[in-house]
Structure 1
């Protein structure tokens, strides 16, 4: 079969691929094609509907500040929400972050946690996340909250993780804040952003719909082989396409299995890269039960690490008079840790224990899986990842996006990753 040809071939029509296509058109490329394995665009920002309820593929809210992102996102009418989150632990609700909001706990527990904080290590002795947490919060708070949560969210022990991903995602501990939050529930919001934005209609995907509408996307095109010497793509549907410029948003461990000319050292590094997979448990309710935008779950026997409400994000996401929640359960690797029926049963338990809903309030519980959730920052990962990325550059693959860069990128950062993948061609 003869091969078609394109100037710029982009693998994946998620936000990074769409960002790359947008930039390619800006700098004058006329023949820019995105090849998407699925039947719809958006990647992790896509959504699905069940009986009039819309659910995003995991929690998405925008706090983008970059002009390149805002000029796209702000084309879509949006709602704003304060970045207020709560946490559930053993029948109690605490504001986020928990170390600054211990007020609901019994006095003796607060005293013990604060004493442990005061006795925390004075110096950070080591380079792993567990040591960082103990240095920040003391053993009592660290063991009870973030170390426990790490096992649920990262499906990995805190001792195995590096600290390079933290940035402003974790609130550093301050004695004044901890003491204040132990005496009163009227605490300020310490989240890293004060405002969250979400489209009025169409789910989070509406923010990137202008990019989708402007792009040439070939759906049901799952790439199987990449010949970087001949610059030739072969797809599962039998189509072959040659390219001048190749942009990939594919996960690095998957990308390297498709190329025949990968050095053994690079292949070995790629094989060590780990990510979580994600079970989404989506629930529709027959009444307006949910008030929280999102919340974290510390109970170890409740499988979900966090949940959010599509109907709070926008009323357009649920039928009138109804509400919804979506729970996230993470596993290490692509193999599921839990059977679908166990996830549904556990979700019903969570709803009862947290006082959100009874079985009579539930219209449906839907379960579906995403093979990739988050990159796992196990210690030494960056050096191994960078070796794979360096090889990509030598063979002309411009790798971008959360799993193409193998990094902890939010949606705005993923867009910019794709947008900047063609910088050297400007």
Structure 2
């Protein structure tokens, strides 16, 4: 078969690219290796419980994205209320200005170190550890974000650069830190004021207005790409010729698929670092297990970094009278987990029971799934290696979109825009 425009991957960026081409009366075909569309925004069901593939909430501010999501699905609006678990204490998020539950000795050390923190211009800061110490002082950094960095990013903070941070971490004044030590009545300082989630069908329901009318071919796993012949080969033995190619595949994966990828490009792609993740999904026979939409866990003897509640996002995600939780556990080539999946699942259950999140008798559904690509990790050579790969793909006429296609820290709304921009680039090329 022959197709003029081929898009690889039916996640949000691939779907967005095809949708925005369709809006300009340009047809395309999307090839997706899985049996359903949605990518990391997809979901699965177990005994009436629905779980997303990794955790999603929308706090999109772009009007075009909000219009697409609103047109796709009615939604619930949540005010962020995250908490943190640290050494047996439950602390409002962000921890740095909500330290009230901690013992006085710890609060005093944090405040004293906050006062003594080194003053540096951003341009002088060499790595994420230095950035943390400059922002929060040594004691807080060493007990909160630095251990969490090892859990979430799987690296030491000193091995990461800092451009990715942006507004993601709140930087309180000394007065805010002191106030948060004196009282639990502190203002919400989370970077998003509200978060949205579809009422029915899981997070992927936000994409339904884009999917209608698109040509999506499921169960089509790419095994080889020949750039000279403009030909794609699939695991089912079929082939496809194309004129233009948009890819949302992870950069290391597409470099493996392309025949005769230059050694420099292959080497750079292999050095791009990301985390993989285990998703532990739990269903309960009570409606009141989850107290907060999500919480973070700083203790390093607990594998889980974050825990969310699908049932609090929407009651449609659990049978009537039930509730659910999902825990995220991250690993990479720099931080491996020696336990089996069954052992990781049981460890997660045991730790959450010990944290008094639920009792064993409440648990009716348990599942563990692995995702090879979870988050892009911003080590010190990310930009250098990313540029080598993206320059090669551009030279070969491939437009790369999405979190792992651009190798950026993109949320779902930004991934949608990435697909739209990919479509715009292709349209511009075709008009030359």
- Taking structure 1 as the reference length, the TM-score comes to 0.97
Match of 1:82 in 2: 79
In the alignment, the residues of structure 2 paired with residue 112 and residue 349 of structure 1 have an alpha-carbon distance, to the nearest angstrom, of: 32
- Describe the shift of the 1:373–1:338 C-alpha distance in structure 2 as closer, same or farther (beyond 3 A): farther
In the alignment, the residues of structure 1 paired with residue 24 and residue 125 of structure 2 have an alpha-carbon distance, to the nearest angstrom, of: 46
Query: Alignment length, in residue pairs?
Result: 422
Is 1:385–2:382 an aligned residue pair?
Answer: no
- Give 1:166-185 correspondences, 5 Å limit: 166-185=165-184
In the alignment, the residues of structure 1 paired with residue 135 and residue 291 of structure 2 have an alpha-carbon distance, to the nearest angstrom, of: 31
Greater shift in the superposed pair: 97-106 or 264-273: 264-273
Alignment partner of 2:118 out of 103, 110, 121: 121
In the alignment, the residues of structure 2 paired with residue 138 and residue 278 of structure 1 have an alpha-carbon distance, to the nearest angstrom, of: 30
- Describe the shift of the 1:357–1:285 C-alpha distance in structure 2 as closer, same or farther (beyond 3 A): same
In the alignment, the residues of structure 2 paired with residue 104 and residue 367 of structure 1 have an alpha-carbon distance, to the nearest angstrom, of: 33
Secondary structure of 2:256's match?
A: coil
How far has the Cα of 1:211 moved from its partner?
2.0
Map Cα deviations across residues 70-102 of structure 1 (whole Å, 9 max, x no partner). Answer: 121001100000011000012110000001001
Match of 2:145 in 1: 146
Map Cα deviations across residues 156-178 of structure 1 (whole Å, 9 max, x no partner). Answer: 11111110111111112321211
In the alignment, the residues of structure 2 paired with residue 336 and residue 213 of structure 1 have an alpha-carbon distance, to the nearest angstrom, of: 41
What is the Cα-based RMSD across aligned positions, in Å?
1.3
Match of 1:243 in 2: 242
Map Cα deviations across residues 281-304 of structure 1 (whole Å, 9 max, x no partner). Answer: 000111021121011001111100
How far has the Cα of 1:108 moved from its partner?
1.5
Match of 1:12 in 2: 9
Map Cα deviations across residues 4-57 of structure 1 (whole Å, 9 max, x no partner). Answer: 111210000000000100111112213x10000000000000000010000001
Match of 2:35 in 1: 39
Is 1:93–2:94 an aligned residue pair?
Answer: no
**Do 2:274 and 2:377's aligned partners in 1 also have CA atoms closer than 8 Å?**
yes
**Do 1:41 and 1:212's aligned partners in 2 also have CA atoms closer than 8 Å?**
no
**Do 2:19 and 2:211's aligned partners in 1 also have CA atoms closer than 8 Å?**
no
Secondary structure of 2:166's match?
A: coil
How far has the Cα of 1:337 moved from its partner?
4.5
- Describe the shift of the 1:337–1:197 C-alpha distance in structure 2 as closer, same or farther (beyond 3 A): farther
**Do 2:47 and 2:365's aligned partners in 1 also have CA atoms closer than 8 Å?**
no
In the alignment, the residues of structure 2 paired with residue 295 and residue 393 of structure 1 have an alpha-carbon distance, to the nearest angstrom, of: 40
Is 1:339–2:340 an aligned residue pair?
Answer: yes
In the alignment, the residues of structure 2 paired with residue 341 and residue 278 of structure 1 have an alpha-carbon distance, to the nearest angstrom, of: 15
- Give 1:271-310 correspondences, 5 Å limit: 271-288=270-287, 289-310=289-310
**Do 1:102 and 1:182's aligned partners in 2 also have CA atoms closer than 8 Å?**
yes
In the alignment, the residues of structure 2 paired with residue 176 and residue 23 of structure 1 have an alpha-carbon distance, to the nearest angstrom, of: 48
- Describe the shift of the 1:335–1:38 C-alpha distance in structure 2 as closer, same or farther (beyond 3 A): farther
Match of 2:349 in 1: 348
Is 1:219–2:203 an aligned residue pair?
Answer: no
| Stretches of structure 1 lacking an aligned partner (at least 5 in a row) | none
- Describe the shift of the 1:34–1:336 C-alpha distance in structure 2 as closer, same or farther (beyond 3 A): farther
| Stretches of structure 2 lacking an aligned partner (at least 5 in a row) | none
Match of 1:326 in 2: 326
Match of 2:401 in 1: 400
Is 1:410–2:411 an aligned residue pair?
Answer: yes
- Taking structure 2 as the reference length, the TM-score comes to 0.95
**Do 1:7 and 1:29's aligned partners in 2 also have CA atoms closer than 8 Å?**
no
How far has the Cα of 1:123 moved from its partner?
1.5
Greater shift in the superposed pair: 308-317 or 285-294: 285-294
How far has the Cα of 1:336 moved from its partner?
5.3
How far has the Cα of 1:335 moved from its partner?
6.8
Match of 1:191 in 2: 190
Match of 1:62 in 2: 58
**Do 2:251 and 2:405's aligned partners in 1 also have CA atoms closer than 8 Å?**
yes
- Describe the shift of the 1:401–1:310 C-alpha distance in structure 2 as closer, same or farther (beyond 3 A): same
How far has the Cα of 1:186 moved from its partner?
0.7
Match of 1:159 in 2: 158
- Describe the shift of the 1:337–1:246 C-alpha distance in structure 2 as closer, same or farther (beyond 3 A): farther
